[in-house]
Amino acid sequence: MKFDIRMAVASLALTGIFATTGVTPASAQTLPARIKIGSSQPLSGAGAGSGQAAKMVQEMAVKEVNANGGMGGRQVDIVFGDDGADPTRAVTEAKRLIDQEKVHILIGPGIAAVALATAPIVTPAKMLSFPMSGTPAINPTTFPYGFASFYPADAFLEAMVDYAVDKLGAKSIGVMADTGSQGKAAAEQAKTYVPKRGAKLTGIEYADFEATDYTPQVLNLKRGNPDVVLQVTSLQVGGGYFYKATEEQNWQIKIVSQVSSLFTADILKIAGPNAYSTRRMHGLTTKATTMCPGEDASKMPFAQLRDKIKAAYPNDFQKIPMALAPYYFDVVYTIKAAVDATKSVEGPKLAAWLEQNGGSVKAVMGKLTMSKTDHFMYHSDVFAFTVRPDQVSAQGVATREGC
């Protein structure tokens, strides 16, 4: 066979390109020309506040990633779907994002029932996904290529019980849960864990996560005469309207809430300007977004993230529930770490890498904890509690309880 000098020159030229860019021929074939991320969020409806905030933070994160070389050497596009916190709409949007927009990776949806509705879509597509819920139904079986950008319901319920018993001195506890998979899982955990901690479980009440009238549930819980009520819900409306109902019934019960420290502005609008000054709501949040007295908040990754968001959205900055911003931001950089390492957008490859190496990802919230047997990004080591999330430092950091 004759030697073709044109082929040799072309081969040398390609070798030079790959050596210069650091991209191998194999990785060039694996990665698309641009990486496309889909994000399913409640951009309308009861969860619109958090959905719009997620959109802003994720757009900012993608812009930052692109300015620093992209993912795997590729630039990134992000396209959003409005699931309206509704399972049916979530399925429609997931199909649109995958079939029409041709996304390679999916962020969201949130809320257990909404996220779980998309499992039959993303799993057969073998797509890396990040539903945001604490339901135990998000696991390596139902979401083999999916990781919850939240913490598991059993872990946060136990933390709430421990806080009620150890910090508030509760001898009896009631539970107010939503009707979703996350809420029901937390309530089931309460049945065994509350007695284990030596407290009496006085009753469990349920309400839809979009409910605005909690009067019947408050009256039923009040009859049990608990020292503390734990509330598990997925949206800010639940935290606000439950507190409002206790005020209307003149029941000055202490509430350990899963959401009261996450949606401060929204809860103040619903429950009234004095909702936090009564110090009845003790909110589950994270160490990353709180500080102990005397700490230098300016050195915290959370405070630095807040500064970035403020610079990016000076006019809309106050609309963002800042305690949730790290969840929205971390997921983009988790995707970047996996794509950078694998030079792939294939769900099985990305998931396998995250199961093995998730803990190496630098995250605002702290060390990630996903594994082959557990697909939650965060666990109990991130938990903290606040009482006055409406009072923050100049850097936007609330004081942590129990320092």
DSSP string, 210-279: T----HHHHHHHHHT--SEEEEE-SSHHHHHHHHHHHHHTT---EEEESSTTT-HHHHHHHH-TTTTTT-
So where are the chain's domains? 9-151+322-381, 153-293+384-399
Confirm if 365 and 150 have CB atoms less than 8 A apart: no
The C-alpha atoms of residue 154 and residue 148 are separated, in whole angstroms, by 14
Confirm if 170 and 160 have CB atoms less than 8 A apart: no
pLDDT of residue 2: 38
Split at pLDDT 50, 70, 90, the class of 403 is: confident
H-type alpha helices, 31-72:
48-67
pTM strictly above 0.85: yes
Mean pLDDT of 237-254: 96
**Coil, strand or helix: which one is 151?**
coil
Mean pLDDT of 81-99: 95
The C-alpha atoms of residue 281 and residue 277 are separated, in whole angstroms, by 9
The C-alpha atoms of residue 33 and residue 250 are separated, in whole angstroms, by 61
CATH number of 9-151+322-381: 3.40.50.2300
The C-alpha atoms of residue 355 and residue 184 are separated, in whole angstroms, by 27
pLDDT of residue 23: 41
Split at pLDDT 50, 70, 90, the class of 5 is: very low
pLDDT of residue 75: 98
Architecture of domain 153-293+384-399: 3-Layer(aba) Sandwich (3.40)
| % of the chain with per-residue pLDDT over 70 | 93
* Of 166-175, 182-191, 290-299, 327-336, the least confident: 290-299
Contacts with 121 (C-beta within 8 Å, 6 or more apart), sequence order: 91, 94, 95, 98
Q: Are strands 254-257 and 290-291 parallel, antiparallel or unpaired?
A: unpaired
What rounded mean pLDDT belongs to the chain? 91
Structure tokens at 227: 């020292």
Return the closest-CA partner of residue 117 out of 87, 147, 93. Answer: 87
H-type alpha helices, 76-180:
87-95, 112-117, 119-122, 153-166
* Of 7-11, 90-94, 257-261, 330-334, the least confident: 7-11
pLDDT of residue 111: 85
Mean pLDDT of 233-247: 93
Enclosing H/E stretch for 351: helix 347-357
pLDDT of residue 9: 35
Split at pLDDT 50, 70, 90, the class of 209 is: confident
